[in-house]
């Protein structure tokens, strides 16, 4: 069987210093992710991105809990130019409907289909943010029956306490947290 690398939401709006919803030290994941990509270990490399409509329900401007971020087609929604995207096989957009949370990359059937077609049975998950989209994507990957590894060098969270709790939850659920 095959292993895939999932790069979750390494987008400009999640990166300091100027991102609309910048994850503290989020830029520190880029080099470890590039190392994983360059390792040649993965048969499939998939990047995800929030790709929200301008009136997304999660936005503070719409009464939601998050600052407006990753509005599709804007510079903030683009994958970081610091990421080596030459080895990325596919980009999966999530949160594309006004009420779709976009927390898990598995909310989109396209990811499941892509992993099935490549006979993937294991995923290493990296990216932003550990306590939101990485957490939900990893939990859904476990529910899909995949073996899940979380590379702690290559993830960062919004809140330190929630990040620690998320990593513990993932470990308890069966993910390998390294």
Going from N- to C-terminal start, the domains of the chain cover: 2-177
Number of Cβ within a 10 Å radius of residue 105: 31
Catalytic, out of 27, 50, 93, 94: 94
pLDDT in tens, the chain (178 residues): 899 999 999 999 999 999 999 999 999 999 999 999 999 999 999 999 999 999 999 999 999 999 999 999 999 999 999 998 888 999 999 999 999 999 999 999 999 999 999 999 999 999 999 999 999 999 999 999 999 999 999 999 999 999 999 999 999 999 999 9
- pLDDT, residue 45, reads 98
**Known active-site residue 172:** no
- pLDDT, residue 85, reads 87
Q: Is the bond preceding 9 in cis, omega lying within 30 degrees of 0? A: no
Catalytic, out of 68, 93, 133, 140: 133
Full-prediction pTM beyond 0.95? yes
Find the angle CA(106)-CA(135)-CA(13) to the nearest 5 degrees: 85
- pLDDT, residue 33, reads 97
**Known active-site residue 13:** no
Minimal CA–CA distance to 175: which of 118, 131, 124, 113? 124
Catalytic, out of 9, 68, 131, 140: 9
**Known active-site residue 9:** yes
The CATH number for 2-177, chosen from 3.10.20.520, 2.30.30.100, 3.40.50.1010, 3.40.50.850, is 3.40.50.850
- pLDDT, residue 84, reads 84
């Amino acid at each position: 069987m095959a292993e895939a690398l999932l790069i979750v939401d390494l987008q400009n709006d999640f990166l300091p210093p100027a991102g609309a919803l910048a994850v503290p030290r989020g830029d520190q994941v880029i080099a470890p992710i590039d190392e994983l990509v360059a390792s040649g270990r993965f048969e499939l490399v998939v990047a995800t991105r929030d790709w929200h409509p301008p009136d997304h329900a999660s936005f503070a401007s719409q009464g939601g809990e998050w600052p407006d971020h990753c509005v599709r087609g804007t510079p903030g929604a683009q994958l970081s130019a610091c990421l080596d995207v030459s080895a990325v096989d596919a980009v999966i957009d999530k949160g594309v409907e006004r009420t779709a949370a976009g927390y898990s990359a598995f909310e989109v059937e396209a990811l499941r289909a892509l992993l099935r077609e490549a006979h993937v049975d294991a995923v290493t998950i990296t990216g932003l943010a550990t306590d939101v989209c990485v957490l939900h994507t990893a939990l859904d990957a476990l529910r899909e029956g995949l073996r899940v590894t979380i590379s702690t060098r290559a993830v960062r969270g919004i809140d330190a306490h929630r990040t620690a709790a998320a990593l513990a939850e993932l470990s308890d659920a069966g993910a390998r947290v390294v």
